[in-house]
Amino acid sequence: MSNGIMAVAEQRDSKIRDISFEVISEARRLGEITGQDVTVVLPGFDIKEEAAILGYYGADRVLVADDPRLETYTTDGYVSVIAELVRKSDPEILLLGASVQGRDLASRLAPRLNTGLAQDCIRFSIEQGEFTAIRPAFSGRVLQKVQFDNCRPRMATIRPHVVTVNVPDETRAAEIIGADFTLDDALLRTRVVDKLRDQGGSIDLTEADKIIAGGRGMIRAENFEILEKLAGLINGSTGASRSAVDMGWRPHSDQVGQTGKTVSPALYIACGISGAIQHLAGMDTSKVIVAINSDPDAPIFQKADYGIVDDLFAVVPALMEVITSILRKQD
């Protein structure tokens, strides 16, 4: 292999998102195997001061695409700029995060580059000199091995929280380069006019290390309050199954599953969730899965590392009492 590995970093409000460190760490690992440099593209506005941190995680150089029109993500603007920079660099491998933004960007970027794409991958390797991606398929029931014939760059997105993040080395300096690109206003068919933020203040599900999710067993919307309290105790986020969202109990942004968000937290607590295959597809790579359900035959128990067959409205408050007691002793 030659021409190096390229990764795309994400920023929001001029701050690097955690998924970027995961992608760069994996790019660095592959670079060590293949002997290639790692180049990172960082689109945004007035973002250059944040670029140095990407070197701590393994970037050899950072191409900063700085433009007011790139301050907030739009598909048209980002695809145009990143496609141009990828063509100039001609990397062997191109990696992005499988975040909401990354999935959207990658699916538009691949046809622009006339290359193949493996979405939502959980593992990578170099087999006989060929880049190989592993991704779940058929709602997580099988793992698919993807290799790229006659494709360049080999392009893939990485599911959040499935790769090991490098310990940041602040003595490691990346070369920071102001990227040269063109951006035609005529190509920008969408424009961000306002941002409406979630007032809850919880961590985005795709970045959360701990998630407390509720399903049909929550009975009504008001009952999610106990899950929010539990999530607050452990600095986690609250998620939901599709059935809970369809009933109007939670917004779609909270939905975990095949038609919602794919998550891989260190801890996933499923409360009153039966475990339909579509839901499991969105969380089955969680490090530790705890299921609380009154039905001992619920499919969720087949995936759970720990299962509690009981009324969640008795278990969750008891769990909060134990956690609160532990936190008080630590204080």
What is the signed CA dihedral for 263, 269, 275, 277, rounded to 10 degrees? 10
Tokens describing residue 233: 């105790």
Which CATH superfamily includes the segment(s) 5-187? HUPs (3.40.50.620)
Per the listing, tokens 């109007």 go with: 248
pTM of the model: 0.84
Helix residue ranges per DSSP H, the chain? 18-34, 52-56, 75-89, 100-113, 224-233, 242-246, 277-280, 300-303, 312-330
Domain boundaries, the chain: 5-187, 210-330
2-58 residue pLDDT tens: 579 999 999 998 899 999 999 999 999 999 999 999 999 999 999 999 999 999 999
What's the pLDDT tens digit per position in 185-244? Answer: 888 888 888 877 665 556 788 889 999 999 999 999 999 999 999 999 999 999 999 999
CA distance 34 to 95: 15
For 274-283, the pLDDT digits (tens) are: 999 999 989 9
| pLDDT at position 1 | 43
Give the pLDDT score at 276.
92
Tokens 């190509």 sit on residue: 187
Instruction: Identify the residue with better confidence: 170 or 150.
Output: 170
Q: What was the pLDDT predicted at 21? A: 97
Task: Give the pair of three-digit tokens for residue 260.
Answer: 């919602």
CA separation for the pair 251, 278 (Å, rounded): 18
- pLDDT tens for residues 105-151? 999 999 999 999 999 999 999 988 889 999 988 777 788 999 998 88
Q: Other CB atoms closer than 10 Å to residue 147's CB: what's the count?
A: 14
Q: Quote the percentage of the chain above a pLDDT of 90.
A: 79
Tell me the torsion sign for CA atoms 310, 312, 317, 321: positive
Q: Which of 305, 257, 273, 291 is nearest to 120 (CA)?
A: 257
Kindly report the CATH number that applies to the domain delimited by 210-330.
3.40.50.1220
Nearby residues of 182 by Cβ (< 8 Å), 6 or more positions away: 84
pLDDT score for 193? 82
Q: Which amino acid is at 193?
A: V
Query: Is-cis flag, bond preceding 153, omega within 30?
Result: yes
Topology match between the domains 5-187 and 210-330: yes
What local confidence, expressed as pLDDT, does residue 150 receive?
Answer: 84
- Residue 9's pLDDT is 97
What is d(CA 278, CA 293) in angstroms, rounded to the nearest whole number?
A: 18
Average pLDDT, the chain: 92
Work out the percent of the chain whose per-residue pLDDT is above 70. 98
Half-sphere exposure (Cβ direction) of 112: Cα atoms closer than 13 Å: 19
